[in-house]
Amino acid sequence: MAETSTHNPPSPPVFLLVATAPHAAGAGLQVAGLTVVERALRQLASRGQPSRVVVACDGTVALPRALPVGKAEIEVRAIAGGGAVAVAELEASLPGATLVPADVVRPGADGSGPGLRVVDEESRARAEDAVFAKLLDRGDLGLVARHINKPLSIRLTRAVLVHLPITPNQVTLAAAAIGLVGCALIASGGYGGVIAGFALAQAQSILDGCDGELARVRFQRSRMGEWLDTMVDDFLNVAITVSVGIGLGHGAWGGAGAALYSTYAAITYSELARLGLGGNPFQLKWWFAGGVSLSAAQSDSTAGPGGLLRHFIRRDTFVFGWLLLAVLDLRGVILAHAVLLSAGYAVAALGQLAWARRSGPPGRPQDGL
């Protein structure tokens, strides 16, 4: 008789968050707009996989009034006296549990890597520095984003936005309103108005980084926010192209560029939805990138013509370049570049459609991206 085997699904990981008197001094301090203990809870809840979080609390550390919602099952256990013995007994009842001190900040979004203990203002500032430094620890940033936009947006996010009751999606919409005002000024056709319009477009490009930064440091990333961010940027790209054409009296060319870019957007959105990848086009495995996602293909290095080209077709780079061309009163060059860029995007999307249909599923990004 043949042997049969059964495989039990692995148990979800268990975390023991210790929020007792020895941790009280640092757990209540704020790092990037969240108390250290709330940051730990949100980080555990946003892991993206089911888990169990047990909070050992003796009443000396103020927990958030509303526990974060995610895939983690969170329960609070009262510890009488808050002593080490009581904590050790609770830990012994949770075999394999990972101990998480409530006064430790782990800068990485997934909580991996060494933590930084917060006990006073000096250590709090160091932890916050590390959290915001992680925002630049990405290989998919364009040249302008890394060297101009991000240094400005991170300062704004850190100094202002994390302290306001505002959501990442609200930042996205506020930035979009600024971009639309810029489009109206560009369409006016006057030299001063065009420069002001492209300055507002550049301001929107900078603020466009703030929503993602806020979402990362507050653990508020969502599929809806991802889609909103992508669709706002694409809509503004179309609107700028149309506005330049109107301002120059070449509305037909502006319309052609808008139609080409809209073709790209429609195909890209369709592919993202078909594969269930969310709203970030960089997660698609693009045919021109050798069948890997642009999140994986693009790095800080500009080695090789392909890597350099990817930097210069990014939105952060061409919006900044259009501002410089506007200052030089080269609006015709801006329109020509916008139309050609839109054509390139449309060709890339049509090629992606043909390649995807030929190669079939899954077309998903590499693990960890």
Buried b (16+ CB within 10 A) or exposed e, 245-277: bbbbebbebbbbbbebbbbbbebbbebbeebeb
Over 70: is that where the pLDDT of 353 sits? yes
Task: Tell how far CA 244 is from the center of its chain.
Answer: 29
The overall pTM is greater than 0.75: yes
Do 346 and 223 share a structural domain?
A: yes
76 exposed, middle or buried (CB, 10 Å; 0-12, 13-18, 19+)?
middle
| Low-confidence winner among 28-42, 236-250, 283-297, 353-367 (lowest mean pLDDT) | 353-367
- Mark which of 131, 150, 168 sits at the end of a domain: 131
Q: Which residue has the higher pLDDT, 66 or 29?
A: 29
CA nearest to 46, candidates 20, 69, 23: 69
The reply to whether 366 falls in a domain is no
pLDDT at 366: 39
Please tell me the distance from the alpha carbon of residue 348 to that of residue 271, in angstroms, as a whole number: 13
Do 101 and 150 share a structural domain?
A: no
Please tell me the distance from the alpha carbon of residue 211 to that of residue 287, in angstroms, as a whole number: 29
CATH number assigned to the domain comprising residue 321: 1.20.120.1760
- Mark which of 109, 131, 153 sits at the end of a domain: 131
Do 317 and 243 share a structural domain?
A: yes
Distances from the Cα of 235 to the Cαs of 149, 180, 258, in angstroms?
A: 20, 10, 9
The reply to whether 364 falls in a domain is no
| Low-confidence winner among 5-14, 23-32, 165-174, 214-223 (lowest mean pLDDT) | 5-14
Q: Are 342 and 257 in contact, with CB atoms under 8 Å apart?
A: yes
| Low-confidence winner among 43-47, 92-96, 290-294, 362-366 (lowest mean pLDDT) | 362-366
For residue 67, the SS3 value is coil
In which domain, by residue range, is 43 found?
14-131
Do 172 and 62 share a structural domain?
A: no
Q: What is the pLDDT of residues 108-140, one digit of tens each?
A: 877 767 899 999 999 999 999 999 999 988 777
What's the number of domains the chain is made of? 2
Q: Are 196 and 218 in contact, with CB atoms under 8 Å apart?
A: no
Q: What is the pLDDT of residues 248-269, one digit of tens each?
A: 999 999 999 999 999 999 999 9
pLDDT at 318: 95
Over 80: is that where the pLDDT of 38 sits? yes
Do 321 and 180 share a structural domain?
A: yes
Q: Are 339 and 260 in contact, with CB atoms under 8 Å apart?
A: yes
